[in-house]
Structure 1
Amino acid sequence: MNDLRQLRHFVAVAEHGHFARAAAAVHLSQPALSRSIQALEAGLGCRLFDRGTRHVVLTAHGQLVLEHARRLLAGSRSLQNAVNQLGNLEAGELCLGAGPFPAARLVPRALARLARRYPKIHVQLVIEDWRSLRRRLLGEGIELFVAESRELLDDPLLAVEPLRPRPGLYFCRPGHPLLEVGRLSRDAIADYPLAGPQLPDEVVDQVRKLSGREQLPDIQCDNFMVLKDLVQHSDVLGLATSDVVAESVADGSLAVLPPVPDIPNRNSAYGLVSRAGHSLSPAAQALRALVLREDEELSA
């Protein structure tokens, strides 16, 4: 059985594409790293790298081993993390993900509560769309995530805990020309670019039929702070859920457009997502409880 240390050395070489740089990264001499890789290749009975004068390239066997090595190393970290946390949330780490809108308000507030209770937990937060977060979750790069979940509900590999829906809306800068229009229409909205994160397919299809746009949104970005700044300094319209713009609307830095009769404002479908059949670490369980509490309070 090849030990995890050899797998760590192998992953370092694969990621750096160079023995010298990988050796520096894992704090080994280059000859020692080479011997570790050779021992791994001997144990597996295959060549993992094609070695060139300037860099190394994974073989087909190497590609396969890399996929499994990353999964094994992630599992090892998860095991150690769970053991460290058992009955003691003063140690360990939590790797989680969030979609653009939950990351703008719900998740930071839950994390703030977690940090106040357990200030020594190391937290890594990844902000991406729900499809990318699913890949990370199944690859054991994160333990759970909060994101759009309507396309994940029937996935047998996932456990999805739906959160309360938030109304979807269009937002704009104060003084936007559309705020002066008495009754908004589909044609009026279509005159301005629409910015937002990646949208679920059913939402895209419905809005496309009603708006006549081929691609939605016109400007796609998964960073809500960037979207907010873009909308505040242009006539671009933003697409969001009510919770993430509430404070900005209250302080007057953003405005909300009234509903458009022929373009429905769809509700969000946030969910807490983890791997089916896998128990959460104590830190992840604590965060889950805080997300549910924050979700209830924000909805109220």
Structure 2
Amino acid sequence: MDLRRLSHVVALADTLHFARAAEAVHLSQPAFSRSIQAIESELGIRPFERDVGDVRPTPAGEFVIERARKLLFEARCLQRDVDLYRDSQLGDTPFGVGPLLTATLMPRALVALRREHPQVALRMEVGNWLQLLESLRSENIEFFAADVRDMPRDAALDIQLIGGQPAHLYVRAGHPLAGREHTLQEVWAYGLAVPKLLSPSKVELAALLGLPEGQEVTIALECDNYGMLKTVALTTDTVLGATTAAVGEELESGRLVRLIVHGWQSPTSTTGIVRLRGRTSSPAAKVAISAIVRAAGEINV
């Protein structure tokens, strides 16, 4: 089967327009049309319906297009890896990381990678799992590591679970709440600052606070930037919800202290490495994933 012709099928599926697809693959429109006709003849099916001014995949075409994308992706991966192995290199890898891991695992993982594989070039994209999943599907990144609790099940994804981190409540040293136990109602009066993905549902918090059924609460500050959250907690009376790993330095220095709060349910993250199922990881991606998994074990997540 001709991979070049399969790439023409994918181009037409992406543009749904013969002229634009032909331009995308640098062919004249007549030559592009002949290529589509040739693969129709080779496969014995009609991948596209072609009405006046309208191009759309047939059910059989949808099947072919999905498989063609996978074949073309693997062909690109094979060529990349052959080039790297031939030149005795690991190459580079673009990958994504969620906000929690950016503040906890990644400093340790990146230090290890730079020490053990200084020849590897890394491009790290930070975002929530929705943003990272979009980048993964569009092949802008090879994999991502994030809190995957809220991700829907998807047969197209391969998720490797590597642990989780419980969240607790912290305040600055000298805070009026520091040094004794409290109820959640007492803590709530000072305002809660949390990363969005570690926040309990507003309905659950309302129940814990004894609010009427169905009523939601308003969290003082939801932000996935841990540096910003810690700055607010260290300079105001706002209560911080975070994992121990995310505030390790501040706890060690005594700038933050953990609160004991009756009624607080510490939501635990679920850390996962997410890849497209059936896709071969590059050598650089493999060493990056290995470093992240080791870092997760070292901080006991």
Distance 1:71 1:217 in 2: 45
Structure 1 residue 167: deviation in Å? 3.6
Q: Is the 8 A contact 2:97 2:145 kept in 1?
A: yes
Amino acid at match of 1:75: E
- Residue of structure 1 equivalent to 2:71: 72
Alignment length, in residue pairs? 287
Alignment RMSD? 5.1
Gaps of 5+ in 2: none
The answer to which of 259-268 and 237-246 deviates more is 237-246
TM-score, structure 1 length as denominator? Answer: 0.64
Where 1:101 maps in the other structure, the secondary structure is helix
Structure 1 residue 5: deviation in Å? 1.7
- Residue of structure 2 equivalent to 1:162: 162
Question: CA 1:87–1:168 in 2, change beyond 3 Å: closer, same or farther?
Answer: farther
Structure 1 residue 4: deviation in Å? 1.9
Larger of the two Rg values belongs to structure: 2
Q: Please state if 1:39 is matched with 2:41.
A: no
- Residue of structure 1 equivalent to 2:208: 210
Question: CA 1:28–1:232 in 2, change beyond 3 Å: closer, same or farther?
Answer: farther
Question: CA 1:47–1:160 in 2, change beyond 3 Å: closer, same or farther?
Answer: closer
Distance 1:220 1:9 in 2: 49
- Residue of structure 2 equivalent to 1:63: 62
Q: Please state if 1:243 is matched with 2:242.
A: no
Deviations 1:167-215 (A, max 9, x none): 413468x79xxx5446543335566576534469xx7597675356777
Where 2:146 maps in the other structure, the secondary structure is strand
- Residue of structure 2 equivalent to 1:284: 285
Q: Is the 8 A contact 1:196 1:219 kept in 2?
A: no
- Residue of structure 2 equivalent to 1:185: 183
Report matched runs for 1:121-136 at 5 Å. 121=121, 123=123, 125=125, 127-129=127-129, 133=133
- Identity percentage of aligned residues: 31
Amino acid at match of 1:224: D
Structure 1 residue 262: deviation in Å? 0.6
Structure 1 residue 7: deviation in Å? 2.2
Structure 1 residue 46: deviation in Å? 1.0
Question: CA 1:271–1:89 in 2, change beyond 3 Å: closer, same or farther?
Answer: farther
Q: Please state if 1:224 is matched with 2:224.
A: yes
Distance 1:36 1:43 in 2: 10
Deviations 1:262-295 (A, max 9, x none): 1122444424466899875432332233224434
Where 2:93 maps in the other structure, the secondary structure is strand
Question: CA 1:161–1:49 in 2, change beyond 3 Å: closer, same or farther?
Answer: same
Gaps of 5+ in 1: none
Question: CA 1:126–1:181 in 2, change beyond 3 Å: closer, same or farther?
Answer: closer
Distance 2:269 2:285 in 1: 23
Q: Is the 8 A contact 1:169 1:256 kept in 2?
A: no
